[in-house]
Amino acid sequence: MSDRPHYGIDAPPLPFVLGAAGAACALAALRLPAARTPLALAGAVLLAGAGVYFHTTLRGKFRVWDEILDGTGLRGDERLLDMGCGRGAVLIAAARRLPRGRAVGVDLWSFDQSGNRPDATLANAAAAGVADRVEVQTGDMTALPFPDASFDVVTSAMAIHNIPSAEGRRHALDEAVRVLRPGGRLVIADPAPFTRRYAAHLGQGTPRGLGPRYWYSGPWVAASLLRAVKS
């Protein structure tokens, strides 16, 4: 077994497409002197975007979520649900802060993340030394397989926006609130246009940008954070 977790790449085709397109523009700039400047600029933007994307998915988002979870004020005995947990980046970071609690992940295991499957998540939990406090379930965010008021905290990282319909995303938010206990906290990172709509639907919270460490290629695909509390 590996001695450290491996979390894969978010939406793996995208950074490779960006890099390939950037390289193609750079090569075209060398062959087409009349269009050299715009092609070179386009190539530079695309290649830089690929680099930013890889930094976010391999390093930046982890540091951001460490700060988010540290700022959540966990006591260490909470029951936490991570919706759309993937290979467990947020789930395991939370579990490290829950020595007397439980971190539960739910996902449909789509291919939006490379190698996304339950056994990969559990292997990562074991490699991180938190397998005893982590569990994963297959389930739909719009119809969570958990009773009402069964979690103290619900997190979700770049997952809810993948639900194709606005109605489905609202259902996911309603489900997150349903499974929270009164006073429970909801912590969501998603692209900024979505978190603004989530805040409007929930009737609380002000999304804040998470900065360049959570850009997927550039500020045009920037994650923002929404926090809410169940009354």
From residue 61, alpha-carbon distances to 68, 147, 202, 224 in Å are 10, 30, 25, 11
Question: Could you tell me the pTM of the whole model?
Answer: 0.93
Q: Which helix (H) or strand (E) holds 134?
A: strand 134-138
CATH architecture for residues 61-229: 3-Layer(aba) Sandwich (3.40)
Domain segments of the chain: what residues? Answer: 13-58, 61-229
What pLDDT, in 10s, does the model give residues 83-130?
999 999 999 999 999 999 999 999 999 777 777 899 999 999 999 999
String of DSSP letters for 144-195: -SS-TT-EEEEEEES-GGGSSSHHHHHHHHHHHHHHEEEEEEEEEEEEHHHH
pLDDT of residue 115: 75
16-37 pLDDT tens trace: 999 999 999 999 999 999 999 9
pLDDT band at 53 (very low <50, low <70, confident <90, very high): very high
Confidence (pLDDT) at 206: 94
- Residues 13 and 111: their CA atoms lie apart, in Å, by 10
- Taking only the tens place, the pLDDT of each residue in 131-182 is 999 999 999 999 999 999 999 999 999 999 999 999 999 999 999 999 999 9
Per DSSP, helices labelled H in the chain are 13-31, 36-55, 61-70, 89-96, 118-127, 166-179, 192-202
**pLDDT surpassing 50 at residue 61:** yes
98 close to 78: Cβ distance less than 8 angstroms: yes
